[in-house]
Chain A
């Protein structure tokens, strides 16, 4: 796929962005909070050719040939790890997975030691997931190569927000509603907002792109100061759904539905489960999203999750690979000596 290879090196729509590294002047991707609107758009635009490549019979390119990417996952993950691994391999990189969650890695100085060890192996990019907020920032401060945050505690999960934005962009385009960004779009995010890095990154990303975001959760699962993120908080799901163009449901961890935060799974479903009847409060044709894995029958009913025309859930997974390819491409441009990116941080 020569078109993808070429654009992967130079970036699409050059005239829309500052030249070279100025389009994305960050060494790492640690969170959406650090990104400007045009930088988010640059990442999304850069992912488009990879969406195309991923739909071809032959999905391989050699853009990152010879580079080593380490996926260091200190917390269990299936789909995010797989997505990053596929993204790296389709770009021709040597991808190594470190399942730190299963090894004897403990918290403490070991985390720094692990970072130093990874650094000494001369990785060209490190993808990290960790259960503690800020852990990825900490590791990034100790290594010399680009770091991608694949989720840290309740803090951020930037590639999830980017893939969700890419998914929305494609869905809107197919409906003939394509626009520069999401201005005017109403998005309702419902679930365990308090503990959700997906909710934080998505709120930051969607509002940066002009959408208005409503966050819906029972009081015990709503963080203080949610308004400060630029979102409108709700406890009543029906009210939060009224007029929504997009409904994004979050996974509820099973350990949080046994009395600590909410009385039971069935009571949660009673108040916050996305059923067909409830979805009718949203705009006709409203899109349904979920970062997965789903608790069917708890936060989302199967007949909603499986709606062919409106459920974006498998599309999100597809876009995840493309967005991660774009991120790996952009963050490794300096080490690859791509013209215009020599001075990147």
Chain B
């Protein structure tokens, strides 16, 4: 089974759609042969082709989700995600080549899993892990994990090593000394709730250090989540200087401010914590001006035993895979970005960072395709999620945009 079943048996032609091409949204179709995109645009179906009528829906690349904490196929498939880059924060951590090799194959047959190698042994921030061997085992990047690496000397050595191996370093940018035991951003909301808060500047401090070290090392640095105006300004300046620095964010930080933590809602307990409204606006602006390169789900399903607790005791994280597309479409609808850029944020840019041959509708790339009705309305309901847990901060929110068909390597999923 397995290997056979995942291979595309017959060519597939999808017609009568709107193609989300890097150059624009164009009427047309796509032909998938032997797991690859064979033709895009004005396509002719072969005599033996399987045919799908897109009925005017969007034909888009399958989403590439950079930085998830769990492999949760039903949620990914619901959300149109065909590739997930898995954070090393697993139990045990992805700091050992054999483990990485195992994880890299774990998505078969219907999901690509790209492991991110733990930067340091046990994610403890002290000794470099066997990164070159993990690369050989299938690691597509290196990640510091949920926490930053406090020791700047270790971080520099890591970045130099990553540059030599041409792997991107995915870092968590929060100064651990400032964050301490904090569970919120210092400010009115944390003060009213009596929650331990850390100043938002904890992010800018870490961003500044990581950029300086990446420049010194000549490394590719991806800041997985940049959520504050000050942090984004630093990224903007680094890009202007031509550094290989990219930034990501999850929808929570452009859809919600720390007001969402009112009444101690633990589904809004995130890392980094939700910020003030001005920072939320800064994130939206940074998506608009290109400072932010990637929007990812940060998918981190947590059941009631981890979330139905006092706020500070609850686990951080949100189940985000199902809502990623719909949330990004809200900033399209608001005119912040166009549809082309939406799929660059969710597919092409993360694919480039991971160095995988996917993420766009181009001849010769892997045939990971999503059929999307961008207008279809639905209501996020934490009790009705495909994810292994329903910890969404968007519970009850009305949204638009649903995946109606999904193919990985030309093979239909679901």
CB pair A33 B192 closer than 8 Å: yes
Which residues on B sit within 8 Å (CB–CB) of A33?
Answer: 192
Set B187, B304, B305, B311: member contacting A133, Cβ < 8 A = B311
Given that A132-B313, A133-B311 are known contacts, is A155 also in contact with B305, CB under 8 Å in the complex? Answer: no
162-200 of chain B: CB within 8 A of chain A:
186-197, 199
User: B151: CB under 8 A from chain A?
Assistant: no
CB proximity of B19 to chain A, nearest CB, Å:
49
Pick from B190, B193, B194, B264: contact of A224, CB below 8 A: B190
Asked if A137 CB lies within 8 Å of chain B CBs, one says: yes
Write out the residue numbers on chain A whose beta carbons fall within 8 Å of the beta carbon of B186: 223-225
Q: What 1/0 mask marks residues of chain B from 102 to 143 whose CB sits below 8 Å from any chain A CB?
A: 000000000000000000000000000000000000000000
Contact status B194-A197, CB under 8 Å: yes
Chain B 261-273: CB-based contact to A (< 8 A → 1; otherwise 0): 0011000000000
Q: Known: A133-B264, A137-B263. Contact between A107 and B191, CB under 8 A?
A: no
Can you name the residue of chain B whose Cβ is closest to the Cβ of A225? B188
Choose from B195, B197, B308, B312 the contact partner of A112 (Cβ within 8 Å).
Answer: B308
A130 at the A/B interface (Cβ < 8 Å)?
A: yes
Partner of B310, one of A135, A228, A229: A135
Q: Are A137 and B191 in contact (CB under 8 A)?
A: no
Query: In the bound complex, do residue B305 and residue A111 qualify as a contact, i.e. CB atoms below 8 Å apart?
Result: no
Q: Given the interface contacts A109-B308, A135-B310, does A226 sit within 8 Å of B191 by beta carbon?
A: yes
B-contacting residues, A72-113, CB 8 Å: 107-109, 111-112
Interface check B309, CB cutoff 8 A: yes
Min Cβ gap A191→B in Å is 15
Please name all residues of chain B whose beta carbon is closer than 8 Å to the beta carbon of A133 when the two chains form the complex. Answer: 193-195, 264, 310-312
CB nearest neighbor in B for A154: B194
How many Å lie between the Cα of A109 and that of B196 in the bound state? 22
A29 to B402, CA, bound (A): 43
**Cα–Cα distance between A226 and B188 once the two chains are bound (Å):** 7
Encoded as 1 (CB less than 8 Å from any A CB) or 0, chain B from 245 to 282 comes to 00000000000000000011000000000000000000
Given known A-B contacts A130-B310, A224-B197, A138 and B264 have beta carbons under 8 A apart: yes
Chain B: interface size category: 20 to 34
The reply on A290 being an interface residue by CB < 8 A is no
Judge whether A156 is part of the interface by a CB distance below 8 angstroms.
Answer: yes
- Say yes or no: A108 contacts B194, CB within 8 Å: no
What residues on A are CB-neighbors of B189 within 8 Å? Answer: 225
CA distance A200 to B188 in the complex (A): 12
Determine if A137 and B264 form an interchain contact, defined as CB atoms under 8 angstroms apart. Answer: yes
**A210 part of interface (Cβ distance < 8 Å):** no
Shortest C-beta distance, B256 to chain A (Å), equals 18
A225-B310 in contact (CB<8A): no
Closest A residue to B312 using CB positions: A132
Minimum CB–CB distance from B385 to chain A (whole Å) comes to 20
- Taking a contact as CB atoms closer than 8 A, the residue among A108, A138, A229 that contacts B192 in the complex is A229
B310 touches A111 (CB 8 A): yes
Q: State whether A228 touches B195 (Cβ < 8 A).
A: no
Closest 7 CB pairs between A and B? A134-B264, A155-B194, A154-B194, A132-B310, A225-B188, A224-B186, A228-B188
* CB-defined A-B contacts under 8 Å, sample of 7: A107-B310, A108-B309, A134-B195, A134-B264, A138-B264, A138-B310, A224-B191
20 other contacts beyond A224-B186, A224-B191, with CB at 8 A cut-off?
Answer: A108-B305, A109-B304, A130-B310, A134-B193, A134-B264, A137-B263, A138-B308, A153-B194, A153-B195, A153-B312, A154-B194, A154-B195, A154-B196, A155-B195, A224-B199, A225-B189, A225-B191, A228-B192, A229-B188, A229-B192
Q: Which positions in A face B, CB cutoff 8 Å? A: 33, 107-109, 111-112, 130, 132-135, 137-138, 152-156, 197, 200, 223-226, 228-229
